[in-house]
Structures are given as C-alpha cells and as structure tokens.
Amino acid sequence: MSQQIVKRRSRGFICVNAHPEGCRRNVERQIAAIDGSSSILPSPGSPEPLVPHNVLVIGASTGYGLASRITAAWGYEARTLGVFFERPPDESKTATAGYYNTLALDAYAKRDGLFAAHLNGDAFSDETKREAIALIRRELAPLDLVIYSLASPKRTDPRNGVVYNSALKPIGEAFSNRTIELDSEKVVDITLPPATDKEIADTVAVMGGEDWRLWMEALADEGLLASGVCTVAYSYIGPAVTWPIYRDGTIGRAKQDLENVAVAIESMLEPKFDGRALVSVNKAVVTQASAAIPVVPLYLSLLSKVMRAKGLEESPIEQMRRLFADHLSKSPPPILETQEGNTRRVRLDDREMRADVQAEVAALWPQVNTENLRAVTDFAGFQREFRNLFGFEVEGVDYDEPVETDLSW
Ligand code: NAD
C-alpha cells in the first residue's frame, strides 16, 4: 500500500505520472454517458443495430478504444476483453493513466455484474495473441465484434524481431505551417522535412493494417468468430490544412493501408462468417496519440472552439455511442462512403467536416499568434483536456488528498 499525494509531473508537455482518482472519475463519467438503454437507442431512420454480446477491444485502455469498450459493456451488457499496453505502478512511479482507467472500469464492471477481462501486453506479439485466444476460448467465444484501436509509436515484428518506429512526417516535400510549441505555448512556424522511404514503410508497418489482419486471421483460424461478426478499425481524414502532415503524410499512408486491409479482411470474413470489416473515420479529439502530431494541437484548439459554439462538440464516448447505435447495424451500415471506390468507411467526422465548421477554422487559422492564442483558440480547453487524460485537473478531485497508487485488478 502506498498512499501519496500525487501532483502532476511533466516532461515538456507530456505528463509522466497519472492520478488514480482523476482517472476513475473520467471512466465514471463515460459510463454515466452510456449507462441506461435510452442513451444508445439508434437515431430515427437507422437500421436495426448489431447487439454485441462478446467483444474484443485491442487498444482498450484510453481514447477511442476505452470509449468503445464502455459503450459495448454498459450500452449492450456485452462481455468484453480489453488488450492494452500499460505500465503498472512501482515503488517510485504511479501507473500510467490507461492502467488506472482499467482498474476503474474493472471495479464498475464488478459492481454492475458485467464480465470484463484484461490483458496487459504487447498486442503486436504472438504471445499476447496466444494469451488472448486462450482467454477468448474459455470466456468469450464466439466474438461478434472486434475493435482495433491501437495507437503506438513502434512495433516489433513478430516474424523477425525487427523494431519499426513510426514517423509523423510529410511525403515528397517539406511542409511548413504554424503550430503550437506546446512546452513554451508559443505559436511558431515549423518546417518538417519529408520522410525517407524507410520512414514511410516503417510507419505503415506500425500503424497500417498488418497487425489487424494477423489478429483477425488468428481468431478466424481458431474458430472464435460468430456468424455475422463485425470488425472495426479507426482512421482520420481531417481538413486540407492538416493533409500534408496527416492524410498525405506517413500516417495517412498507414491509414490507407488500414483501409486496403479492411477489404482483405472482409473478403476473408464474408464467405466463412457472413462478417464485415469497417474503417470508422472518427472526429479529431484530444488523446495522447493525437497531441503528438505536429500542427494538430493548433487545429484541435480551434476546432473545439468552433464546434462548441455551434453545439456540435463530441468526445470519444459520444462518437462511440453514435458508431454503435447508428452504424454497427445488422444490415450493411447506411452511411458507408462509396466515393473513391471505398465501400467500407463509416464517417463519424461528419460534424467536424461540415463546411461551416471548416470555414470558421480556416478563417481563424492565419489570425493566431502567441499573444492571442488563448483568446482566438480554445488552447486552455485543449491543455485541460490533455491533462485530464492523465487524471489531472479533473473536476471534483482534491489533489491535496493522499490516494492509493499501488493498485492492481
Ligand atoms: P490512445 O493513445 O488514446 O490509445 C491507444 C491505445 O493503444 C491504448 O489503449 C494503449 O494501451 C494501446 N497500445 C499502444 N501500444 C500498444 C501495444 N503495443 N500493445 C497493446 N496495446 C497498445 O489513442 P487514440 O487516439 O484513441 O487512437 C486509437 C485509434 O483511433 C488510432 O487508430 C487513431 O489513429 C484513431 N483515431 C484517433 C483520432 C484522434 O483524434 N485521437 C481521430 C480519429 C482516429
């Protein structure tokens, strides 16, 4: 037992510790947003929703994966297995936020009589896949929904041990734009050099679809998938101002690969299980993964200001409620995009991409400078949301109170 007062510690912008009570409240708030069947009723005109019973979420401890898991469990009483990679506490350090989030989820699941199993390990490894398969066979088979929500800076290839590091860079030519230097809170111009061929290939190896395909093939080979199974991975497109660093950059290549892999997975699932593989294009939100992308923090600070003013802002849990209620239907989903020959995209970014929203963001963009950052954008909100991810600056938490940090499920 080690009760201690936990104050936020940062290295640059990043928090290097986490507050268990703040994390618990974050999870509690998300559960409250979903719990009770009326919150997950489909919007009028939506087809009959898929009601998931047995759900695997890969990347389940923070961000979109955590919100997906909460939606499946508290929205539909699904049995869930969450796979994630988080640091437990030790004598000198608190655990990571995703670890404390999972602890809280575990406690609420027990309270509410929901089955929730957790696997803390490297999802890219064969070992974690084997452990997950054994657990699924025992407790969850057959799976009717598999969510793939990993965001990682690196991946060790299970075949040859090679470590790939992802790079967030433009392709072809250097890209210059303004960005918020998060440590100093200055608005500065940055120039990002173009990625090398190796950096492009490595980013695709980390954030592309290969590992998703390996998971789905392993689950199919082991006979652990239900008839009508659906698998969903998450992507982002965003507005043209971010394309050189996102859609047309290294990460965009990886997302294109993910979409191509969705087609391959579906052709494997369809004949055997009448199953589907979708890519859901989600809204930009503040997570540990998105804050690391250059230019994106400025975009997010402007976007949330504009969307909030219009009453359109959504957090991951609200996005996931919409995904499950309106798009994961028994019949093919209604808002599948058909342009570009791609029939597997669900668009949850429809409100973000509205012409009036993007026009306002684009108009504000060139006005932002260091002096007016907090007036023109919602940088304060961005900063608070970022700290919230680690359990800090969460409403109702007394940060002068000692808390137990050495916890496990
Ligand atoms: P996040 O950083 O909040 O979550 C990442 C999850 O992956 C965590 O649960 C973490 O433990 C897990 N993880 C990382 N490496 C792992 C490993 N080796 N083994 C097992 N688990 C591992 O990220 P997020 O922003 O929620 O991103 C999830 C997905 O959503 C990504 O595909 C991302 O591109 C996509 N997406 C994000 C946004 C956004 O704005 N944040 C928008 C659209 C789509």
Tens-binned pLDDT, residue by residue, of the chain (409 aa): 578 999 999 887 889 999 999 999 999 999 999 987 666 777 777 777 788 999 999 999 999 999 999 999 999 999 999 999 999 999 889 999 999 999 999 999 999 999 999 999 999 999 999 999 999 999 999 999 999 999 999 999 999 999 999 999 999 999 999 999 888 899 999 999 999 999 999 999 999 999 999 999 999 999 999 999 999 999 999 999 899 999 999 999 999 999 999 999 999 999 999 999 999 999 999 988 888 888 899 999 999 999 999 999 999 999 999 999 888 876 665 555 644 555 578 999 999 999 999 999 999 999 999 999 999 999 999 999 999 999 999 999 999 999 999 988 8
**Is position 189 within any domain?**
no
User: Which of 118, 290, 299 is the best mutation target for the ligand 1 pocket, counting ligand atoms within 8 Å of the beta carbon and taking the most?
Assistant: 290
Tell how far CA 221 is from the center of its chain: 27
Please give the Cα distance from 262 to 212 (Å, whole number): 9
**Is position 20 within any domain?**
yes
- Beta carbons of 187 and 297 less than 8 angstroms apart: no
Nearest atom of ligand 1 to the alpha carbon of 207: 32
Residue 46 DSSP code: P
Tens of pLDDT, residue by residue over 311-361, are 999 999 999 999 998 888 766 655 556 445 555 789 999 999 999 999 999
**Is position 383 within any domain?**
no
- Beta carbons of 298 and 368 less than 8 angstroms apart: yes
Two tokens, residue 102:
């999972």
Please give the Cα distance from 359 to 365 (Å, whole number): 10
Ligand 1 centroid distance, CA of 62 (Å): 7
Cα 191 to Cα 73, 173, 184, 185, 295: the distances in Å are: 44, 10, 18, 18, 11
User: Which of 23, 57, 128, 150 is the best mutation target for the ligand 1 pocket, counting ligand atoms within 8 Å of the beta carbon and taking the most?
Assistant: 150
Nearest atom of ligand 1 to the alpha carbon of 151: 5
**Is position 13 within any domain?**
yes
Return the active site residues: 246
Ligand 1 centroid distance, CA of 321 (Å): 18
Nearest atom of ligand 1 to the alpha carbon of 296: 40
Number of domains in the chain: 1
The CATH number covering residue 128 comes to 3.40.50.720
The predicted pLDDT at position 35 comes to 83
- Beta carbons of 403 and 4 less than 8 angstroms apart: yes
pTM: 0.96
Residue range(s) defining the domain that contains residue 57: 3-168+198-293+313-351+389-404
**Is position 367 within any domain?**
no
Sequence-ordered strand ranges (E) for 195-258: 225-235
**Is position 377 within any domain?**
no
Please give the Cα distance from 136 to 55 (Å, whole number): 9
**Is position 409 within any domain?**
no
**Is position 134 within any domain?**
yes
Q: Which residues line ligand 1 (CB under 6 A)?
A: 59-65, 83-86, 98, 122-124, 149-152, 234-236, 282, 284-285, 287-290
Residue nearest to atom 8 of ligand 1 (CA): 59
Tens of pLDDT, residue by residue over 185-194, are 999 999 999 9
